[in-house]
Structure 1
Amino acid sequence: MKSPVILIVGTVDTKSDEIGFMREQVQAAGGQALIMDVGVLAKGRVIPDIANTDVAAAAEVTLQQVMDSGDENSAMALMALGASRLAVQLQTTGRIDGLLVLGGTMGTDLALDVARSLPLGVPKVVLSTVAFSPLLPPERMPPDLMMVLWAGGLYGLNSLCQSALAQAAGAVVGACRVARVPRFDRPVVGMTSLGSSCLKYMVQLQPELDKRGFDLAVFHTTGMGGRAFESLAAQGQFACVMDFSLQEMVNQMGGSVVSAGPDRLMGAGLKSVPMIVAPGATDLVDYPAWGQMPERFAGRPSHDHNRLIASVGIDADMRREFARELASRLRQAQGPVHLVLPLQGIQEWDRAGAPLHDPEGLAAMMDEMARCDWGTAEVSRIDAHINDAAFVQQVLGVFDDWLAQGLVEPAAGMKATHV
């Protein structure tokens, strides 16, 4: 097995000791280090393999122009652009196998851009003083990012700092040794769901899609799952999407921290990927179960899913608002769209007798759906619950029809229609 090459990115002017130590740890783990300097203030004690002047040039500016750009924020944004472009070149030409970046808030800001520039499956480790912090917006985090907290490492190479540096170095080298970049040997259907107790359709759909020659990838719509789904959809990695859990859209509208960003539902449509859509779990706003329910929803029925996440039911006005927003986003889709509306309910906890049963709210949303302009999207209404077999059969009917029409490309060696 060849020794993996790790691109180490950091500010050599202020972090020479730490970067030098990380290089030693990468080598001790059996890897090779390629150091990129993104600092702009001065030279450090470590001689980088890629100088800061080269990073600036990749952003089509000089290092002096970076320093004269206005402030440290604008300077680092330029260096992030250059570093991202160089990282892509190095990865596509086979010169690096993984990425390791360290920094405080400034370095982490840059690290997110560089990590996002690399494709899924390329190991990416960020050693950060703000690892997993609420400061990090989900839309900027690549779906396979690994983070290690840089504990006690803001200044000085103490034993705590060395422990974190060594762990990050070992993590990225080890990941590169066993990494398997997705091959997409079979076409993939991307699907969303809020767990498997709230929404259940994937249990019946997976074997049916497998018979048709498709892999099914199901994404958990609790913020980062939806972000990963959107990222891959926007890259055109899915043959079709079955986006049935749009609850992150409602979270975004309700100001919840459980968000996938403001562009949820847009990735596939703008890439012309065929979309079958349903409003699963869009009667809920999630919030941390260990915190306080958002004040605006006080008094509404709620459900504690576990000690991490709880959900509160939204009112009829917010359901109507969601319906209008859904229509607005689907009208922008460039490919085929089919919206399936299950009239008897949109998640398991809204059934009769369940804690979030709200027939008036559901009726208000469906009424607003009937008033919306859906553009070229097809809309079907079924007298069933989203977790009923009838919903699955409706979805398969649309999918098979699209296969027959050639709107979804069949898997290699499979007939265009399912028998």
Structure 2
Amino acid sequence: MSVVIIGTLDTKAEEIGFARDVLKAQGVDVHVVDAGVMGEPGFEPETPASEVADAAGTTLEHLREEAGRGEAMEAMGEGATVIVDRLHEEGILDGVLGLGGSGNTSIATAAMRTLPVGVPTLMVSTMASGDTEPYVGARDITMMYSVADIEGLNQLSRQIISNAALAMVGMVTNDPDTDIEERPTIAMTMFGVTTPCVQAARELLEEKGYETIVFHATGTGGRAMESLVEEGVIDGVLDVTTTEWADELVGGVLSAGPDRLEAAGDEGIPQVVSTGALDMVNFGPRDSVPEEFEGRQFHIHNPQVTLMRTTPEENAELGEIIAEKLNAATGPTALVLPLEGVSALDVEGEDFHDPEADAALFDALRSTLDDDVELLERETDVNDEAFAEVLAETLDEYMRDVD
């Protein structure tokens, strides 16, 4: 087993050397990648900083003498990514460990994010107790807060670095020794307000012999699903909850970006899509909602989450966007509409019940959708068990036709 350590040996050699020694004491091979720019390394790494810079298409001399800190960090991140990818392809990388402050956290996690999900990655960082989304993205990177700065070895840093190294040993040497049945894998998207639908559809699909992976449609969830589709991990998609597009269009906090709803179509795998939670845009606490939205209809989901009802105009635009995404699909695609409500808050008697807004969404979808996309409409709300059955049965039919 081999672990790659990414660190700046001009400033953190003592700490990185300690982590290396802990790993080696457990019988794990270590490959150190030096991401330091300004000074000489405290010890000789397996991959020197000059090779990292070369891999980024520049030179260490240029980064030292002419580049600013930001440019240097970006270049070393690009170079470390190339190095890590190559080591993984060569089969000599079983996990990646990083140690550092904001600079090396940016460098090391850039390389970690290119690895397939499931490859152990652990970042010991001074930044790990704050907003880690820029570092983690949609990958399974483990972040460990260093508590104190990573500057010298002491009773605290030794314990934390040792814990991190031993955790990495456990991850790269772990063999669960269990037989895993290979089954077609279905990705699903869920929000709290579409949970009954997704749970019922998941149970139906698993009874039919599929493995299911449910993604929380919080921006990173949608990006993670799209990424795994691109990697070939997913065989079919049941995209119940396309709410991330409402945040992308209107300016909420849970956008998955403009490429959402493209991966399954690009890969040509079966997909069944619905309009789950397109009645809402997500914000943080109520006082964090931008002033431009004052006067809109809100629902306080909890003290940290404020939901805003989408308007008929926004729904019409969402319908056009989603239809165009589905029109571009190269594989079997269906759109299933729940005409009595797209979320638990959109049914009669609840805060976001708005037949005019729903009608604008559905009309835009109908008028923009190509004939190649199967359109199914049901006089139920999204969380009706009968609606879940339509979703599951339609996707199962597509999957069997592909086989």
TM-score over 0.5 for the pair: yes
Counterparts in 2 of 1:46 and 1:291: CA distance versus 1, 3 Å: farther
Deviations 1:64-95 (A, max 9, x none): 35546743333333332332222223233332
Q: Secondary structure at the match of 2:196?
A: coil
1:36 is displaced (CA, Å) by 0.8
Give the Cα separation in 1 of the matches to 2:31 and 2:287: 43
1:405 is displaced (CA, Å) by 2.9
Q: Secondary structure at the match of 1:94?
A: coil
**Alignment match, 2:115:** 118
**Alignment match, 2:33:** 36
- Aligned with 2:5 (options 3, 8, 13): 8
- Aligned with 1:283 (options 271, 279, 298): 279
1:264 is displaced (CA, Å) by 1.9
- Aligned with 1:345 (options 341, 357, 360): 341
- Aligned with 2:377 (options 377, 381, 406): 381
**What are the within-5 Å matches in structure 2 for residues 180-191 of structure 1?**
185-191=182-188
8 Å CA contact retained: 1:347, 1:386 = yes
Superposed CA RMSD in Å reads 2.8
1:202 aligns with 2:198: yes
**What are the within-5 Å matches in structure 2 for residues 2-401 of structure 1?**
4-27=1-24, 31-67=28-64, 70-131=67-128, 133-134=130-131, 136-137=133-134, 141-153=137-149, 155-178=151-174, 185-195=182-192, 198-289=194-285, 292-374=288-370, 376-401=372-397
Moved more, 40-49 or 229-238: 40-49
8 Å CA contact retained: 1:12, 1:19 = yes
Give the Cα separation in 2 of the matches to 1:299 and 1:29: 61
Aligned partner of 1:341: which letter? L
Deviations 1:145-165 (A, max 9, x none): 111223331644455544543
Give the Cα separation in 2 of the matches to 1:352 and 1:29: 61
Counterparts in 2 of 1:135 and 1:170: CA distance versus 1, 3 Å: closer
Deviations 1:277-325 (A, max 9, x none): 1110011112224753343333433333344433221222221221122
Moved more, 181-190 or 312-321: 181-190
8 Å CA contact retained: 1:278, 1:340 = yes
1:182 is displaced (CA, Å) by 11
Aligned partner of 1:46: which letter? F
Moved more, 364-373 or 377-386: 364-373
**Alignment match, 1:417:** none
1:166 is displaced (CA, Å) by 3.2
Give the Cα separation in 1 of the matches to 2:179 and 2:281: 33
Deviations 1:248-274 (A, max 9, x none): 221222323333333222222222222
Counterparts in 2 of 1:290 and 1:373: CA distance versus 1, 3 Å: closer
Counterparts in 2 of 1:68 and 1:336: CA distance versus 1, 3 Å: farther
1:135 is displaced (CA, Å) by 7.1
Counterparts in 2 of 1:158 and 1:316: CA distance versus 1, 3 Å: farther
1:243 is displaced (CA, Å) by 0.8
The unaligned stretches of length 5 or more in structure 2 are none
8 Å CA contact retained: 2:270, 2:395 = no
Counterparts in 2 of 1:105 and 1:29: CA distance versus 1, 3 Å: same
Moved more, 381-390 or 179-188: 179-188
Moved more, 102-111 or 298-307: 298-307
1:216 is displaced (CA, Å) by 1.0
Give the Cα separation in 1 of the matches to 2:379 and 2:26: 59
Give the Cα separation in 1 of the matches to 2:396 and 2:124: 46
Counterparts in 2 of 1:157 and 1:291: CA distance versus 1, 3 Å: farther
- What TM-score, normalized by structure 1, do the two folds share? 0.86
- What TM-score, normalized by structure 2, do the two folds share? 0.89
Aligned partner of 2:274: which letter? A
8 Å CA contact retained: 2:5, 2:98 = yes
Counterparts in 2 of 1:158 and 1:321: CA distance versus 1, 3 Å: farther
Q: Secondary structure at the match of 1:144?
A: coil
The unaligned stretches of length 5 or more in structure 1 are 410-419
Give the Cα separation in 2 of the matches to 1:128 and 1:356: 42
Moved more, 251-260 or 158-167: 158-167
1:361 is displaced (CA, Å) by 1.6
Give the Cα separation in 1 of the matches to 2:129 and 2:275: 29
8 Å CA contact retained: 2:273, 2:334 = yes
8 Å CA contact retained: 1:121, 1:179 = no
Give the Cα separation in 2 of the matches to 1:240 and 1:327: 19
Q: How many residues are paired up?
A: 402
Counterparts in 2 of 1:53 and 1:308: CA distance versus 1, 3 Å: same
